[in-house]
Structure 1
Amino acid sequence: MVVGNFPLKDKIAVVTGGGSGINLAFVKLAFDTGAKVLIADLKLTPEAGDLIKASKNHIAFATCDVSNWSHLKALPSEVTKAFGSTAVADVWIAGAGVFEPTWSSFLSDSEDAHYKQMSINAEHPMKLTRIAMRSCLSADKPGVVLIVASGAGITGNYGCPVYCASKHAVVGFTKSLAQADEDEDFKVVCILPGMVSTPLWTGEQAKAVHAQYSFTDDVCITPEEVAEAMMEMVQEGKYKGGSLMEVAKGRLRHELESHQSIVVTGPAEKKFADQCYEPIRKVFRSERGAAANGANGTHCV
């Protein structure tokens, strides 16, 4: 049991950070393909607002601070509010992120309790994935999560160590959930863009780092190029759970190897894998079909 080919037509997608940049480009493509989309973001750009108005209720907006788990937990309810009482999202894009901002960085070190950058870039995709799995399992339907990471998730950079750490975290998380595709009909994949012409690099707050990272348009790819690769990863069955794809200048659609810790080659390895995975499988079995069985259903968090 694997998700396989998963066309977006007539499906519902939730996109965090969908108000601008790469994720807005994905929203446009998903809508053009025939999907309904919930944008979960702090605010909308004028372009996103105009798109919602023109969508004839096929695109909706929910205010969402992805570092606030109560906002993330509310997203299944926001889907039903936008698209009907039985609506359950099929595709979840963990797209919101920040790049080593001065208010949350290793060098400024100005925060008292934690690096909020880690909450946004690493914890939010993990929590969103858990919410998405519970929602889809409850409705007993397949689902897909795509996490927007970065090429920094497989390299390091002395200038932005917390950012790199956050992206390494979600790359490891994606690899770890590869088995969910086979076990639960739920696919988790990850895209790793290089420099992209988005507000992350072109906005007012980013101008100070242009010289530091030699930012110019000629080393960048467009948000649309990344969004097209995201669509491919979501819809095409050749990208199985745990897949990683690098998208950068000169390396469009560069699929990376994803290694699981347990490789089943015979009965002994299968026995060990089953032993390791059974506690996880037991929880997911209890959540499957919960909506039909009268439990909390898609709203269970």
Structure 2
Amino acid sequence: MVVGDFPLNGKTAVVTGGGSGINLSFVRLALQAGAKVLVADLKLLPEAEQVIADSAGNAYFMTCDVSNWRDLEAIPNTVTQAFGKDTIADVWIAGAGIFEPKWSSFLYDTETDHYKALQINTEHPIKLTRIAMRSCVGVNKPCVVLITASVAGLTGSYGAPLYCASKHAVVGFTKSMAQADEDENCKIVCICPGIVKTPLWTGNDAKHVASQFSFDDRMAVTADEVADAMMEMVQSSRWPGGSMMEINKANGRSKVDSVRSEEAVSKAGAETAEAKQWLENFHRPIREVWQKERGVANGVK
């Protein structure tokens, strides 16, 4: 049981961070493909307001602070309120993110209790995935979760160590969740863009970052290019659960290799009885949890 091809026509999507940048471009493409879209963000750029106004009721905005779990937990009910009784989102895009602003960074260290950047970039996509799976497993419905990671999740950078750490975390999470496609009909993937021409690099609040990293349009892909790649990952069976795509100006789109401990054990044991037993023991408690949640309408605990 895998999700396989998953055309967006007739589907409902949730897009965090859909008020601007890459995720706004994805919202446009999803609407053009025939989907309904809930945009969850702190605010909308004027362009996003216009997209929603022109959507004939197929797009809806909810104010959402993705660092606040109560806001994230409210998403399933908001989908139902926006698009009708019993509507459960099919596609969940964890797109909201920040780079490494001075107010939440390793270097400037201004925060007193936690790193907000980690809440936004790491906790939010992981929590959204849990909410998505609970919602869809609860009604025996397939789903796709796409996390916006970064090439920074594949390499390191002394200039942005907290950002790199946050993206490494969701890359590791995506690899770990590959089995959910086969077991639970829930496909979790991530995209790893290089530098993208978005407000994250070009906005007024990002001037110091653009200067530090010598941002130049010529080294950047566009938000539309990344959104189109996201559409491919969501809809095509060529990108099964656990897949990661890198997209950058120099090399275009490419698949990132992923190795999981389960695969390593299977290869080492050459599918021996011992290896099969190890995998069965390893997966059993996870499968038991999903089995208990299966059939719980709208993911309500």
TM class, shorter-chain normalised? Answer: over 0.9
1:92 aligns to what? 92
Map of 1:12 onto structure 2: 12
Give the partner amino acid of 2:144.
V
Aligned ranges 1:118-197 → 2 under 5 Å: 118-197=118-197
Structure 2 runs not aligned, ≥5 long? none
Find out whether 1:42 has 2:42 as its counterpart.
yes
* Per-residue deviation, 1:269: 1.8
Whether contact under 8 Å (1:262, 1:269) holds in the other structure is no
Which one of 252, 275, 283 corresponds to residue 269 of structure 1? 275
SS at match of 1:191: strand
Residues 99-120 of structure 1: CA distance to partner in whole angstroms, max 9, x if unpaired? 0011000011011111010000
Name the CA distance, whole Å, in 2 between partners of 1:79 and 1:120: 21
- Alpha-carbon separation, structure 1, partners of 2:209 and 2:114: 23
Cα distance between partner residues in 1 of 2:154 and 2:86: 40
Aligned to 1:288: 294
- State the Cα RMSD in Å: 0.8
Provide the C-alpha distance between the structure 2 equivalents of 1:2 and 1:270, rounded to a whole number of angstroms: 20
Equivalent position of 2:226 in the other structure: 226
Stretches of structure 1 lacking an aligned partner (at least 5 in a row): 292-296
Aligned match of 1:294? none
Under a length normalisation based on structure 1, what TM-score does the superposition of the two structures give? 0.97
Q: Kindly indicate whether the alpha-carbon contact (under 8 Å) linking 1:153 and 1:168 is maintained by their aligned counterparts in 2.
A: yes
Task: Tell me how far apart the structure 1 counterparts of residues 60 and 275 of structure 2 sit (CA, whole Å).
Answer: 46
Aligned length: 295
Residue 268 of structure 1: CA displacement? 2.3
SS for the counterpart of 1:225 is: helix
2-structure distance, mates of 1:157, 1:183: 36
Distance 2:209 2:7 in 1: 39
Q: Which runs of 4+ in 1 moved over 3 A?
A: none
Q: 2:275, 2:219 → 1: CA distance? A: 45
Report the alpha carbon displacement of residue 212 of structure 1 after superposing the two structures with TM. 1.3
- Secondary structure (helix, strand or coil) at the match of 2:22 reads helix
Aligned with 2:211: secondary structure? coil
Aligned counterparts of 2:127 and 2:288: Cα–Cα separation in 1: 19
Name the counterpart of 1:27. Answer: 27
Once structures 1 and 2 are overlaid, which stretch shifts more, 205-214 or 217-226?
A: 205-214
After superposition, what is the alpha-carbon deviation per residue over 1:214-248, rounded to whole angstroms, capped at 9, x for unaligned? 10100000000000000000000011100010011
Deviation at 1:211, TM superposition (A): 2.3
Distance (whole Å) between structure 2 residues aligned to residue 191 and residue 251 of structure 1: 14
Contact kept? 1:143, 1:186, Cα under 8 Å: yes
Letter in 2 for 1:145: V
TM score, norm. by length of structure 2: 0.97
Is the 8 Å Cα contact of residues 220 and 249 (structure 1) preserved in structure 2?
yes
- AA matched with 2:49: G
Q: How much does 1:77 deviate?
A: 0.4
Q: What residue is the counterpart of 1:75 in the other structure?
A: 75
Deviation per CA, 1:98-144: give whole Å up to 9, x if none. Answer: 00011000011011111010000000000000000000011110000
